[in-house]
Structure 1
Amino acid sequence: MTEQDIHQLLGKLPQLKQEIQKVIIGQEEVLDEVLITLLAGGHGLLEGVPGLAKTLLVRTLSNAMDLSFRRIQFTPDLMPTDILGTEVLEEDHATGKRFFKFNEGPIFANIVLADEINRTPPKTQAALLEAMQEYEVTYAGTTYTLPKPFFLLATQNPIEQAGTYPLPEAQLDRFLLYIKIKYPTELEELNILTSTTGTRQVQVYPAISGEEILQLRQLVREVSISDDLLTYVNQLVRATRPDTTSSEHIKSYVRWGAGPRAGQALILTSKARALLQGRFAVTAADVQTMAFPVLRHRILVNFTAEAERITPDKVVEELQQHIKLPKAVLV
């Protein structure tokens, strides 16, 4: 890939954001984190109270890319076959022989929205594990490869916990980022009211193709990161574990820390953030910014922390004060 090809490819990212922002007002940080997840080749978990356009964001993202899209509404009676697909008995009219044919489920798409994922029991939630990690589905002993690129975004509400099933830690760890959507600012909310209660209609056009996304994902891995920052990431992740940290704060409030996958996620998303901003080198600001959505679902606080309202984000803040950046690294 030539330098001109790279710059032309990177020019697609501002176009993609512009198309999404035709519909989504504000939420700059959330949009960036969703795009970082896409560029890094992972999956995202979106959490926000009802009415903050979680589903609309994912649908608009799919419209802004030339990719297939499927939405799965998770409900208590949803079965794994409703996600993966199932075999049906068919007959060859020429020979009269009967055979089983696999009918693909909605998981076989480039972009999949798992809407209100915590509304379905763990058995059905677990149907996503292989797809999210291995990018394939196994049914009746046969493995089927998912289309590339494959990108899953799940949503859940932090309230209305009656009738929900919290995601197990093993599945949470499969999500590259845990993205929290906050209320819009006063001006943003006014713009939302103005633009959505009249006759204004917006057309979103595809700004990027699946092949270009795959090229960008490869480019992300080529973004450079210094040895000092690699060491800092390693120290930061290891310091989340009560049995390997020197921080009394962590020992007092954390039950389980993050695993090695967190370090991989932090490096990849920091690289993706740098590329999204047009840089080919990771800075300390990239690492410190991405530490929150990377670690908040991989740190399990104890009952003492819950009683004192110590959240995983506060734990990450404490960690960043405890683990000092190398002097050679500029923020």
Structure 2
Amino acid sequence: MAITIKDVARLANVAPSTVSRVIANSPRISEKTKEKVREAMEELGYHPNFIARSLASQSTQAIGLVMPSSTDKVFQNPFFPTVLRGISEGANEKQYALHMTTGKTEDEIFDGVVQMVQGGRVDGVVLLYSKVEDKVLTYLQKREFPFVVIGKPFKHVEEITHVDNDNFRATKEVTEYLINLGHEAIAFIGGDLNLVVTVERLLGYEKALRDFNLPLKQEYIIHEEFLREGGQGAVKELLSLEQPPTALVVADDLMALGVLNTLDEMGVSVPDDISIVSFNNVMLSEMSRPPLTSVDIGIFDLGFEAAKSLIQKVENPKEPVKRIIIQHQLIKRLSCEVPCQNKNY
């Protein structure tokens, strides 16, 4: 015989309505009562029927996740498993499930979002990126559907709840770090310029050079995908220049790994011949040879706060718009040092 709410209520010596409120994690129920009811549920092996609850409350208890590109590319980058772990933990606290887009192209991803929203499959959406032009975001705004962005929205910043780092400031700081080591020829390897994070980091790099009256050379700025292959192609191009850089600001650790691999193949020593600063501080940066100096952007916290903010919007449509900034920290390792003045590539 199936265990029911009434069985749990009887064992916990509370009303069935109290058990329902505990399952919904109602703030009206004391922690002591919640603990007692949860112990009774565990003892009886009772599991809430979330499908029935969803039909009754017209809530799916699910969050939609929208990726910036196809999953086969996305999951090559350690950023995404980490941010998803943060989202999952934030969702799990409120017993929300996750529903992910799986399209291979922008049109397929957009169609997947439309199906999630119009099919009533999710209560809200997290965009795991911010683009300069994005029809998914425009669609969600027009439908007034709850969503949160991980990253800084390109437009309507004051109208959109988002969780981000101060990418402009972080990149300005790491460029200044290289300048203070004595580097003047500093290149920037960034991602797709349609991604706002790339734009913000590029602007921070440029501002640091201007503040120190250093020349801004367009040939020192290269944009590739946030993949290892992107870093490989970029560094080959930079080192083929008549005056190659002595230091690199790389916008992503996975790209930086590609840079390190290529430099090793070319017989270029890091940091003796060239210094590198990267972003994300994932496990790759610590395990690389040499270990990468990298900016820790709190990836897990980005995901956790995004899920938490979205659920607040879902459960309270009057929840005010928020801008949550996750602090960054430069983790200094062994990929940077004072420049060698005589280089032969």
Q: TM-score, normalised by structure 2?
A: 0.25
Bigger Rg over Cα:
2
Choose between structure 1 and 2 for higher RCO, CA contacts under 8 A separated by at least 6 residues.
Answer: 1
* TM-score of the superposed pair, with normalisation by structure 1: 0.26
